[in-house]
Amino acid sequence: MAQWARPALRALGLWGPSGELAWARRLRSTVGRPPSCPSAGVSSVSGNGGDSAKEKLSLQDVAELILTRACKRVVVMVGAGISTPSGIPDFRSPGTGFYSSFQHCDVPYPEAIFELTFFLHNPTPFLTWAKKMYPGNYRPNVIHYFLRLLEDKGLLLRLYTQNIDGLERAAGIPASKLVEAHGSFASATCTVCRRATQMEGFWEAVMEDKVPRCAVCTGLVKPDIVFFGEALPQRFLLHVVDFPTADLLLILGTSLQVEPFASLSEAVRSSVPRVFMNQEAAGSLAWHSRRKDVLQLGELVDSVDRLVALLGWTEELKDLVQRETGQLSGQDR
């Protein structure tokens, strides 16, 4: 967590003096004891009132909560998994992830391309990767448009994304509803004089396999994505307000490995349903699940399609995708 964030979080009781999120510390203290999960006024699945295993929510229950507007302040956390259907590899999958593709490049280890000190010393590996991420190379997929549909229906409180590909923006999620926790390629800054740089010049250099330089001081230009060790964007602090007021948390396509983003999954109240859709269980949802957790494991598009069908939104989503992809295609002509 960035140093500047700690005073605000500590004042709200969310950051402890030892330098960790207070609710994450409390979570560890409960391991080994039965968790306490107060009711949120939702009927149990079985109705027996005593067997917590039978009271677990299902995806159908979550759909009913959304349709009846019992859940209408939805916070969403997403990772690289929502972009793989668009053709963008994730980072960690063996053999196919971005990190695997850098194993034979001029880097000490794959993650080094996102370390500021290495970038300043040798920006070429990162710029080679950035060239692949050029806006327009990839398009939003049905998962992005499902999130857009949540916004169109007035259900999306905020979308927190680890992705820097900008596909949430391209799908029409308003900037006011979007927290790009790890920054984006939407802007760039000189690493020397700190002046903002025109993105046209940045991409022109990158596409020509050149190192982008500042027009004023000739310093190295870096896109405003968060490298390891850098401070997170100030908008990330919105989680202090958003997560305590959310009444449903959707977590899609993230391995919940990168902090402090991963720990946000514990920031909603224990009475709030959490729906985790991913290839496999991850994070605290794998080893410390709550009664109102729903784990939908497998192909992410299939899982989203299932929820959309339970909501009765299948045709509406198809219409949105056709309308928006037609607009995107038209922009290329």
At 227, is the pLDDT very low, low, confident or very high (cuts 50, 70, 90)? very high
**DSSP letter at 65?**
H
**DSSP letter at 333?**
-
Known binding residue 187? Answer is: no
Please, which contacts does 212-215 make with residues 24 or more away whose CB atoms are closer than 8 Å?
212/127, 212/188, 214/190
Known binding residue 91? Answer is: yes
At 6, is the pLDDT very low, low, confident or very high (cuts 50, 70, 90)? very low
Residue 143 has pLDDT above 80, yes or no: yes
Would you state the pLDDT for residue 97?
52
pLDDT tens by residue, 55-111: 689 999 999 999 999 999 999 999 999 999 999 876 655 555 555 555 556 778 878
Give all domains of the chain, ordered by start, each with its CATH number: 57-88+140-182+235-332 (3.40.50.1220), 89-137+184-225 (3.30.1600.10)
Considering the candidates 104, 121, 144, 182, report the single residue annotated as catalytic.
Answer: 182
Taken in order 171, 177, 181, 182, is the CA torsion positive or negative?
A: positive
pLDDT top residue among 162 and 289: 162
Q: What is the mean pLDDT of residues 209-220?
A: 96
Residue 166 has pLDDT above 50, yes or no: yes
Residue 182 bears catalytic tag: yes
Known binding residue 105? Answer is: no
Report whether 171 contacts 327 (CB < 8 A): no
At 189, is the pLDDT very low, low, confident or very high (cuts 50, 70, 90)? very high
Report cis status (omega within 30 of 0) of the bond before 140.
no
